[in-house]
Chains A and B, each alone.
Chain A
Amino acid sequence: DQQVKQNSPSLSVQEGRISILNCDYTNSMFDYFLWYKKYPAEGPTFLISISSIKDKNEDGRFTVFLNKSAKHLSLHIVPSQPGDSAVYFCAARQKSSGDKLTFGTGTRLAVRP
């Protein structure tokens, strides 16, 4: 049962343009959503999060949008840079069932110079 889904395994974007990574979830009890970034041979690193009571959170070039009615969130990166090329994982937490995170399968972003 895949509660967090990232339906696009890969995305290619021109440097300077916007990257939009999407994530869908099925569990309405999730209270926090997070994005992690992973480079090869490294562990995932936290990027940005959003509470289920918010619909937008911004941190520099990164903005996460949450649409609870659609059970959908997206990560916007503007402007995209070659150093952003990595695998991005969407994750969600259901506080009432512990603090573990449930991850999507990831989207590989390639930013072309």
Chain B
Amino acid sequence: DSGVTQTPKHLITATGQRVTLRCSPRSGDLSVYWYQQSLDQGLQFLIQYYNGEERAKGNILERFSAQQFPDLHSELNLSSLELGDSALYFCASSDLAGGHTGELFFGEGSRLTVL
């Protein structure tokens, strides 16, 4: 158990819809990262938040947005969903001060299926 909690674990929705994925980081971790894993692909970095502020942005689509709340949990919002958005979405957290090895701790992921 990494200590990172993601909900929901599975989500099935239709094209054009909007969904919200939620992540609670490990206790004490200020940094949250979102990654997308499509079929047979590596993990693609989407966005990082640190203590409520956006810190780094990857190849995140304009239809996607995220935020980190004062209690440090984070939400990833996916809108106008397309079939190609079907993927595993992982959240990870780290304590930047102690993460000198670069290690991120991953949740179990949210599997999104768009029909």
Interface residues of A, Cβ cutoff 8 Å to B: 4, 6, 9, 31-32, 34, 36, 41-46, 49, 51, 89, 91, 93, 95, 97-106
Contact = CB atoms under 8 A, between A and B. Distances in A.
Contacts, number: 71
B88 to A, nearest CB: 9
Interface of B: 2, 4, 31, 33, 35, 40-45, 48, 55-56, 58, 90, 92, 94, 96, 99, 101-109
Contacts of A51: 101
A100 B48 contact: yes
A13 to B, nearest CB: 21
Q: Which of A9, A31, A46 gathers most chain B CB within 10 Å? A: A46
Top 9 nearest A-B pairs (CB, nearest first) are: A43-B106, A98-B56, A93-B102, A32-B102, A105-B42, A103-B43, A103-B42, A49-B101, A43-B108
